[in-house]
Chain A
Amino acid sequence: MTAPDTHRAIDAVWRIESPRLIAGLARMVRDVGLAEELAQDALLAALEHWPKSGVPDKPGAWLMATAKRRAIDSLRRKKRLEKKHEELGHELDAQQERSMADFDTAIDDDVGDDLLSLIFTACHPVLSTEARVALTLRLLGGLTTEEIARAFLVPEPTVAQRIVRAKRTLAESRVPFEIPHGNELNARLGPVLEVVYLVFNEGYSATAGDDWMRPALCEEALRLGRILAELAPEEPEVHGLVALMEIQASRSGARTGPSGKPILLLDQDRGRWDHVLIHRGLKALERAQALGGSLGPYALQAAIAACHARARTAEETDWARITALYDALVQLKPSPVVELNRAVAVGMALGPAAGLDLVDALTSEPALKGYHLLPSVRGDLLAKLGRFDEARAEFQRAAALTRNARERGLLLDRAAACARGSAV
C-alpha cells in the first residue's frame, strides 16, 4: 500500500469507527468535547503509524486502545492537578478510581446506548440549530470541518467556531451524557429528527453546479436516519422520517431535465425513480404504522409521499387518500403551507373549483405573504378553469417572488402559455 492509499484507508476507517469511538470515550470521560479530542489524538497516531506498519486487522480496537491510554493519562493528570489544589476530597478521588476501573468493561458494553446518547447530546436544546447540525455531522457523520463548511456554503472558520462553542456550551451547561427517559425522550427526539431532516433538505435543495458536498448531505442524512432507526426502533416517528427521506430521495434522478430545468412531480418519468429507495421507504412506513397509534407528522408526510410512489402513472394517484392525509396533518400541525398543499390535493380530487375556494381563503394569510407557491398554485387552478388572464397575472406574481432562477423560468413559461390561451 502506498502512503496516499493508506491515508484513504484511514479516512474510511475513521468514518466507520469514529462515532462509536467518540461515543464510548464520552461515556468514560463524561465530556463530548474531550472525547472528540482523544479520538482525534488516536487518529493522529494512526496517521503516524499505519503508513509504516500497515492498517491493523482490527483498526477500531487499535484506535480505541490508543484513545483509552490517552484518556487515562489525561484523567491522571487531572487528578494530580486536583490533588495539588487539595480542593477535592476523597469522594472525587474514589469516583475517578471507579471511572478508570470502568474503562475496561465499558468498551465491551452495548455501543448502541452510547451512540444514542451521543446523538441526543449533539442535538441538545441548549445548542443553536446551526451548532446542532455542525456537531451532529462532525461527531456522528465523521465529516471534517471543511466538508461541513463546503456543504453549507459557509467559511470554514465559522463552522470550526460553531463546533468549539458548542462543545464549550455542553461542558458549561453540564449536559449529562445520557439517553433521556420517559416523557423527556419524546420531547428530545424532536430536535434530533429536525436536525436530520434539515441536513436532508439542505442536500435536496442543492442545484446543478453546486459543490458535490451539498447533494452528498442527502446521503449523510439518510445514513443518520437509518442508524437512528436501528438505535431507537420503537419510535414510530424515526421510521416516519426515514420513510419520508427514502421516498423523496428516490425521485432525485427524475426531478431535473437534461438542461437542469426542474420537472414537477406529476410530469416526472416514473421509470427514473429509484425503486430500491421506494421499496425501503415503503418498508420504513410499514414499520412506523406497525408500532400502532396515530401517525405523527413525519409518518403522515411519508404516507403522502408513498401515495405518489405507489402510483404507476400520475393519473393513478389516489388524491382522495392524499387529501385525507393532509386533513390529518393540518389537525396535527396546523400551518398555512400544509393548508396550501391540502388545497392542491383537493383541487386534484374534487376539481379545480373546489381547490380554488380553499386557496382563496388563504390569500389573506400573513404567513403566506411573499410565498411564491401561493400565486403559483392559484394560477394553476385558474388556468385549469380556463380563466387565463387571471392565471397569467398569478404566474407573473409568483415569478417575481421566487429566488430560484430555474423556477422563475418555469413560471414565466406558464404565464406566456396563459397569454396564448393555453393551460400549459
Chain B
Amino acid sequence: MRVMVIVKADKKSEAGVLPDKKLLTEMGKFNEELVKAGVMLAGEGLQASSKGARVRFSGGKRTVIDGPFAETKELVAGFWLWQVKSKEEAIEWLKRAPFDETEVEIRRVFETEDFGEALTPELREQEERIRAKAASKR
C-alpha cells in the first residue's frame, strides 16, 4: 500500500526560514534510509504559503485568494509518498524521523482495489461462493 505522510507548517516554515543545518543533515540521513529500504517513492518540501494561492469554487464562480493563509497548523509544509506493507510499517518508519515538536500525519492512498466498482464479477462471485460455503458449514 501507499501512504502519504503529511508534514504540517509552523511559524518558521511560514516565515520562509529554512531548517537549520543539524535538522537538514538528520533529515538527509533519514531520507537516505528510506530510499535504501525501497520505501520512498517521492517526497517534497513546500515553500511558505505566502508564495501560494487558492482558488475558491462557489457555484459557477471562481475567486482567487493569494497567500499567506492564516491557519498555520493546518497548512501542509511537505509530504512523502511511501510504499509500505501496512499502516504499522509506516508508523514504525515515521517514528524514526528526526522531528522535534510537531504532529505528522499518515494517510492511506486509494488504490484500484479500494474502489467498489473495481470489484470484478469473478471476485464477487468468488466471495459469494465462499460465503455460501461458510453458511453451509454452520
Contact = CB atoms under 8 A, between A and B. Distances in A.
Interface string A250-291: 001100101110000000000000001000100000000000
Contacts of A15: 85, 89
Interface string A82-93: 000000000000
A256 B115 CA distance: 14
Contact of B118 (A59, A112, A227, A258): A258
Interface residues of A, number: 30
Nearest to B109: A276
Contacts of B86: 8, 11-12
A23 to B, nearest CB: 13
B41 A276 contact: yes
A225 B83 CA distance: 13
A224 interface: yes
A258 B122 CA distance: 11
Contacts of B37: 16, 223, 227
Contacts of B123: 208-209, 260
Interface residues of B, number: 25
Contact of A222 (B38, B85, B121): B38
B36, B85, B112 interface centre (most CB from chain A within 10 Å):
B85
Contacts of A276: 41-42, 81
A219 B35 CA distance: 15
B120 A260 contact: yes
Contacts of A337: none
Main secondary structure of the interface of A (DSSP, over half): helix
B20 interface: no
Contact of B120 (A11, A112, A209, A253): A209
Contacts, number: 65
A13 interface: yes
A198 interface: no
B37 to A, nearest CB: 7
Contacts of B126: 209
A253 B83 CA distance: 16
A260 B121 contact: yes
Nearest to B85: A15
Contact of B83 (A12, A59, A223, A260): A223
A16 B83 contact: no
B41 A258 contact: no
Nearest to B32: A230
B92 interface: yes
Nearest to A111: B36
Nearest to A112: B36
Interface in A1-56: 8-9, 11-13, 15-16
Contacts of A260: 120-123
B118 A11 contact: no
Contacts of B112: 252-253
Contacts of A8: 86, 88
A256 B93 CA distance: 33
A112 B36 CA distance: 9
Interface in B102-136: 112-113, 117-118, 120-123, 126
Interface of A: 8-9, 11-13, 15-16, 59, 112, 208-209, 212, 216, 219, 222-227, 230-231, 252-253, 256, 258-260, 276, 280
Given A209-B120, A209-B123, A227-B36, 11 more contacts: A9-B88, A9-B92, A12-B86, A15-B89, A16-B89, A59-B92, A209-B126, A226-B38, A259-B120, A259-B121, A276-B42
